[in-house]
Amino acid sequence: MKNYWLIYILLFVISCTPQNDGKVIPPNPPSNSHIEAGKVKPKNIIFMVGDGMGLSQITAGMYMNKNKLNLEKFPVVGLIKCHSSNNLITDSAAGATAFASGIKTYNGAIGIDPDSVAYKTILEEAEENNLATGMVATSTIVHATPASFIAHEKQRGYYENIAADFMDTEIDFFVGGGKKYFDRRETDDRNLIEELREKGYIVSDYFTEELNKSYMSSKLNFAYFTADSDPIPVSKGRGYLYAASKLGIKHLRKHSDKGFFLMIEGSQIDWGGHANDSEYIITEMIDFDRTIGAVFDFAQRDGETLVVVTADHETGGYSIVQPSRMDSLATKFTTTYHTASMVPVFAFGPQAELFSGIYDNTAIYDKFREAFGFKGNGREIIKEVPSQN
Ligand SMILES: [Zn+2]
């Protein structure tokens, strides 16, 4: 014990010794209102949702990836409560509506509350504030998570209505599956791909050309369809999440000098959980984490980007049991649906510290607004959704 004290005293003396010709170097850079620690606002927010990504999914991905994940680089970690307005076990629609609009709603609802009142999403508010906006998903782009950032519908299964809701926005960049809901519609004769082009989008798809060969312009919006309906699993050859996310960042940076909001979803971690397929979960988790690494590297270089990674809920009641080794896991499931477990939040960049602690999933919305410096409580009612369909 005595020896430790001696070392402490010695270290203290050394650390207090003036260096640099007698001048003591201040521990922090001079105060400047723009860069004051904790006060600087992010110019950009990149929100990454691992659908169904609970702690066991993360743990399994980590051990099967040589005990390493890019998620480990995030300095701030929190937990969210995921319940919806009508069920302790949320679905992705209610979960994403909580993130996007700050409201608790019923399972299946897209961007509306239990009384069918539509609320402005963080993506729509970012658009109004002249930020560029984008979404990338490994599901269809009309699937519950991306849909809840841009559409307002009573049921998540109204895919064609959700596709039509894209026409009411000015989203600058989106990549995902679901082409058929735009150009081979059953509920009407609209060709939304033509409508997107008329609105000034460059639209392409996997039939025509590879994503990274697509022509893009910093002046025009960009949409790319990766599949007619659901994209295939990464283990069967899907490989665009990483490239599309990097492309999205590049495109959105050029699209507005005010900043951007980008939502990236690793959609199929959830599908592995529903299928009670550990291999599916692990391959999707590692694919998502690889993309997290690229986003993190960008944010680190950029210095003005807040990155938040979380999940809407856990799927499968997944657990890692005996006899497991680091490179070979024995796993069990308790359900083919979601569970009520809290899920982790990881944050990096300006205002990341807002995301520590335990809070409701709706608070993610408030923290995004606070980070961006949007005034007031938000939750702006935009319309009543008619009871048709
Ligand atoms: Zn699910």
Q: How far is it, in rounded angstroms, from Cα 201 to Cα 244?
A: 17
Rounded CA-CA distance 134/173 in Å is 4
pLDDT at residue 383 in the model:
78
Q: What is the pLDDT of residue 45?
A: 98
Comparing CA positions, the residue from 43, 58, 156 lying closest to residue 108 is: 156
Which pLDDT value is given to residue 12?
45
| pLDDT at position 324 | 97
Percent of the chain with pLDDT over 70: 89
Q: pLDDT of 265-301, one tens digit each?
A: 999 999 999 999 999 999 999 999 999 999 999 999 9
* pLDDT at 17 exceeding the cut of 50: no
Q: What is the pLDDT of residue 388?
A: 53
Please tell me the distance between residue 151's alpha carbon and the centre of ligand 1 in angstroms: 19
- CA dist., res. 259 & res. 351, Å (int): 15
Query: Would you state the pLDDT for residue 6?
Result: 47
Q: Given the residues 31, 33, 85, 92, select the one marked as catalytic.
A: 92
Q: How many angstroms separate the alpha carbon of residue 338 from the centre of ligand 1?
A: 6
Angle of helix 363-372 relative to helix 92-101, nearest 10 degrees, comes to 30
pLDDT at 29 over 90: no
For residue 218, the model assigns a pLDDT of 83
| Residue 231 DSSP label | P
Q: Give phi and psi for 275, each to the nearest 5.
A: -80, 0
Q: 336: CA distance to ligand 1 center in Å? A: 9
User: Ligand 1 centroid to 271 CA: how many Å?
Assistant: 6
| pLDDT over 50 (residue 317) | yes
Which residues are CB-neighbours of 132 under 8 A, at least 6 positions away?
172, 173, 251, 252, 253, 255, 256, 258, 259, 260, 261
Angle between helices 240-255 and 278-302 (to 10 degrees): 30
- 55-63 helix and 278-302 helix, angle to the nearest 10 degrees: 90
Task: Read off the pLDDT of each residue in 303-332 and give the average, rounded to a whole number.
Answer: 97
CA of residue 92 to ligand 1 center, whole Å: 6
Q: Each residue of 183-199: pLDDT tens digit? A: 999 999 999 999 999 99
Render pLDDT for 336-372 as a digit per residue (tens, 0 to 9).
999 999 999 999 999 999 999 999 999 999 999 999 9
Between the CA of 294 and the centroid of ligand 1 the distance, in Å, is 25
Q: Is the pLDDT of residue 23 over 60?
A: no
Residues in contact with 282: Cβ distance below 8 Å, sequence separation at least 6, in sequence order: 60, 61, 64, 272, 329
pTM value? 0.89
pLDDT number for residue 14: 43
- Whether residue 355 contacts residue 345, with contact meaning beta carbons closer than 8 Å, is answered with yes
Distances (CA, A) of 271 to 110, 133, 231: 19, 26, 12
Question: What is 166-210 written as a DSSP string?
Answer: GGGS---EEEEE-THHHHS-SS----HHHHHHHTTEEEEETTT--
Q: Kindly state the average pLDDT of the residues 213-217.
A: 89
Is 84 noted as a catalytic residue in this protein?
Answer: no
Q: Which residues surround ligand 1, an ion (CB under 5 A)?
A: 270
Q: What percent of the chain has pLDDT over 90?
A: 86
42-54 pLDDT, tens per residue?
999 999 999 999 9
Regarding predicted confidence, which is higher, 243 or 386?
Answer: 243
Mean pLDDT in the chain? 91
- pLDDT of 24: 44
Domains and CATH numbers, the chain: 52-270+293-375 (3.40.720.10)
